[in-house]
Chains A and B, each alone.
Chain A
Amino acid sequence: MLDFSFVPGTFWFEAWQARFSLLSGIWVTMSASALTILFATILGVAVGTALAYGWWWLRLLARLYVDFMRGIPVLVLILFTYYGLALFGINVPAYWAGVIALSAFATAHIGETLRGAVESVPMGQMEAGKAIGLRFLQRLRYVILPQALRRMLPPWVNTGLEVVKGTTLLSIIGVVELLLTNQQIVARNYLIVDFYLFAGLLYLMINASIAALGARLERRFSYLRY
């Protein structure tokens, strides 16, 4: 299987031939994941705050949104977004439709995690902030969120891993990310096992580095318990 001779039909030769498409595939996977995590974190903090502190109608809306997103498969969401956006006259490339759908999904997850984290911060903290005269946004910014964000770091990293794995679904709407790149290569040379294993290895490496990064962040931001 893994043959080290460098002739057409061997893994190393074919991988070298396809080096540019492989690199571009890795780039698409990483950029889609990074954008999704960025958008979802910003929106997720908003949704999570709404879930924890919103007026009742805002809370209800956020709850409906989160439960909807968590109740349907990501693939359905991606296909819905991809076909649906075009209906509204928004002609976005498949890549952006995918990023939007994945962000909408990850937002729900991060929002729910943030709600949990915020609610795990003792009530006294909020009251103490109130007592020293901080406004609501200040209490959030200086008292609650710094603690809540630290607490949600491990599940946040997990969501990141889910997002990286989720980008493979973009291959179904024709985004040439890492998986579709490999499928195209396989369609050319039939080195099925080699290239799927290779793709698996790449995903493993990407995910392992994110997990390592997460562990580092956790160490960096861990704080003395009061």
Chain B
Amino acid sequence: MIDYNFDWSVITRNWDRFLEALALGLGLAVVSLLIGCVIGLAAAYARVSGNKWLSGPVWAYVEVIRCTPLLLLIFFIYFGLPEFGIYFMDKTQSFVLTLSLYAGAYMSEVFRAGLSSIPRQYVEAAKAIGMRPWQRQRWVVLPVMFRITLPSIGNNLISLFKDTSLAAAIAIPELTFVARQINANTFRVMEVWLTASALYLATAWLLATLLRQVERRYATIR
């Protein structure tokens, strides 16, 4: 069909860069997920609080984030926040902030579903044995909720990892950016993009397998 001679030496020569870039993307995803979980938990409690001054703004936050393209958010925070006098040390911080806010919106929905799926009787039982409100949350509600939402948290981690590819747009040297750079320098199109795809695929698959192990380890008895 076409004569395309594969030359994998481009990949082997740049293998370290590929791996570093992959690790960076994974790191960005994990950090953003952790911050996103904190934001999401606070937002979820605000949503179920029943106080409309709390749940209203949180609802708006979630809807705005979910209806806005991530790339636009990245640009808005990277280029727009300095207009308000908020400066970042570097672009990685701005990206982590963006991805955390993004993850927070999605996690808040996950946690909200988790919180509302906990049977009332659990809280009542905790009340009956004399636990204080924060003790009920700490020892009864949260542990159960985390177990219920574990699969969703895992899915979010994988999709956040894929979303780190957008960091290439503001020149953060993660996998997509590095692949694009090597592609531009050497024009070994097939090798570079096949490698990048394979690395993303393998990592996503590895994460999924690992998460399944964790889920099995912490499986809930319903």
A197 to B77, CA, bound (A): 11
What distance in Å separates the Cβ of A95 from its nearest Cβ neighbour in chain B? 17
Number of B residues near A (Cβ < 8 Å) is 36
* From B75, B83, B183, B197, contact of A72 by CB (8 A): B197
B79 and A186 within 8 A (CB): yes
Per-residue CB contact flags for chain B residues 66-81 toward chain A (1 = under 8 Å, else 0) read 0111111001100110
A75 and B176 within 8 A (CB): yes
A171 to B69, CA, bound (A): 12
Residue of B nearest to A81 (CB): B193
* From B69, B70, B76, B165, contact of A76 by CB (8 A): B165
Known: A88-B1, A204-B64. A165 touches B76 (CB 8 A): no
A10 within 8 A of B: no
B23 within 8 A of A: no
B71 and A71 within 8 A (CB): no
Contacts of A165 in B (CB 8 A): 68-70
A203 within 8 A of B: yes
A89 and B83 within 8 A (CB): no
A193 to B86, CA, bound (A): 13
A203 and B69 within 8 A (CB): yes
B163 and A73 within 8 A (CB): yes
* From B69, B84, B190, contact of A179 by CB (8 A): B69
A83 to B183, CA, bound (A): 9
A75 and B166 within 8 A (CB): yes
- Within A6-35, which residues are at the interface with B (CB < 8 Å)? none
B89 within 8 A of A: no
A196 within 8 A of B: yes
Contacts of A86 in B (CB 8 A): 189
- Within A35-82, which residues are at the interface with B (CB < 8 Å)? 68, 71-77, 79-80
A196 and B75 within 8 A (CB): yes
Contacts of B205 in A (CB 8 A): 71
Most interface-central of B67, B69, B162 (chain A CB within 10 A):
B69
A134 within 8 A of B: no
What distance in Å separates the Cβ of B70 from its nearest Cβ neighbour in chain A? 7
A83 to B180, CA, bound (A): 10
A183 within 8 A of B: yes
B140 within 8 A of A: no
What distance in Å separates the Cβ of A123 from its nearest Cβ neighbour in chain B? 26
What distance in Å separates the Cβ of B162 from its nearest Cβ neighbour in chain A? 4
What distance in Å separates the Cβ of A212 from its nearest Cβ neighbour in chain B? 12
Per-residue CB contact flags for chain A residues 163-183 toward chain B (1 = under 8 Å, else 0) read 011111101100000010001
A197 to B71, CA, bound (A): 13
B2 and A87 within 8 A (CB): yes
B201 within 8 A of A: yes
A84 within 8 A of B: yes
Contacts of B162 in A (CB 8 A): 72-74
A183 and B75 within 8 A (CB): yes
Instruction: Provide a sorted-by-A list of 14 A–B residue pairs whose CB atoms are within 8 angstroms.
Output: A72-B162, A73-B162, A73-B176, A76-B176, A76-B200, A83-B183, A87-B4, A87-B189, A89-B2, A168-B70, A169-B71, A171-B71, A179-B69, A196-B76
Binding site for B on A (CB under 8 A): 68, 71-77, 79-80, 83-84, 86-89, 161, 164-169, 171-172, 179, 183, 186, 192-193, 196-197, 199-200, 203-204, 207-208
Binding site for A on B (CB under 8 A): 1-2, 4, 64, 67-72, 75-76, 79-80, 83-84, 162-166, 168-169, 176, 179-180, 183, 189-190, 193, 196-197, 200-201, 204-205
